[in-house]
Amino acid sequence: MKILSDTKVVVHGLTFEKYISETEIQQKVREIGQALTLNYQDKAPLFIAVLNGAFIFAADLVRACDLDSEICFVKLASYDGTESTGAVNTILGLDKDIKGRHLVIAEDIIDTGTTMNHFIARLQQFEPASISIVTLLLKPDALKYDIDIAHIGFEIPTKFVIGYGLDYNELGRNLKDLYQLSEE
């Protein structure tokens, strides 16, 4: 990763331009945190952060909530033999009994919604009390499923973004702002 200027970075040979600033992100995270604080008083919610992309968002989100919350981190695997099917059939790291719990899913980005759609279906089999999805980013034009999303940080066009946990081939997660793939 090479920082070209205050607004441009190059990652694996592709140029990205600053898109949503750290300040805007933090403001949005605060707003969502305040809403969750009101909704989940005395419900002891369990946050489920979807690795790897949501690790930074989830860390900020739990601290924006004034709640006795718990958090766990899961990885979703979608393999059928050696082929990735897009269907989430394994949830790695779900080490808590979620039956009867109020779940808040923290996701970095919902694109086609395939991942989230399958993940929610799997979680429902464990009979939680409730599930709300919180995503920092949504690409509404790419969405292929009817998913009930409780909180969306930003709706963005169907263009590739990196930063604030999101990567391009594993790089760029540590950028404080969000960057969008440049058109040039």
Active site positions, annotated: 111
* Residue 153 contacts ligand IMP per CB under 6 A: no
Q: Contact between 113 and Mg ion (CB under 5 A)? A: no
**Among 15, 37, 39, 112, which residue interacts with ligand IMP (rule: CB under 6 A)?**
112
What whole-number distance in Å separates Cα of residue 149 and Cα of residue 17? Answer: 28
Distance (Å, rounded) from C-alpha 97 to C-alpha 72? 11
Q: Which stretch binds Mg ion (CB under 5 A): 80-88, 104-112, 121-129, 138-146?
A: 104-112
Q: Which stretch binds ligand IMP (CB under 6 A): 37-45, 57-65, 96-104, 111-119?
A: 111-119
Residue 109 engages ligand IMP in binding (rule: CB under 6 A): yes
Query: Which is it for strands 102-110 and 130-138: parallel, antiparallel or unpaired?
Result: parallel
Stretch that binds ligand IMP, among 7-15, 28-36, 64-72, 157-165 (CB under 6 A): 157-165
Cα of 84 vs its chain's centroid, Å: 20
Q: Is 74 in the site for ligand IMP (CB under 6 A)?
A: no
Q: What are phi and psi of 76, to 5 degrees?
A: -105, 130
Q: Who contacts 22 (Cβ-Cβ below 8 Å, separation ≥6)?
A: 164, 176, 177
Question: Residue 67 binds which entry of ligand IMP, Mg ion, none, with Cβ cut-offs from 5 to 8 Å by kind?
Answer: none
The secondary element (H helix, E strand) that includes residue 9 is: strand 8-11
Residue 53 makes contact with Mg ion by CB under 5 A: yes
Identify how many contiguous H helices and E strands the chain contains and give both numbers.
3, 13
- Scored b (16 or more CB within 10 A) or e, 28-59 reads bbeebbeebeebbeebebbbbbbeebbbbbbe
Nearer to ligand IMP (CB atom), residue 60 or residue 108 = 108
> Of these partners, ligand IMP, Mg ion, none, which one is at the site of residue 160 (CB under 5 to 8 Å by kind)?
ligand IMP
Q: Given the rule CB under 6 A, which residues bind ligand IMP?
A: 53, 108-116, 160-162, 166
Q: Which residues bind Mg ion (CB under 5 A)?
A: 50, 53, 108
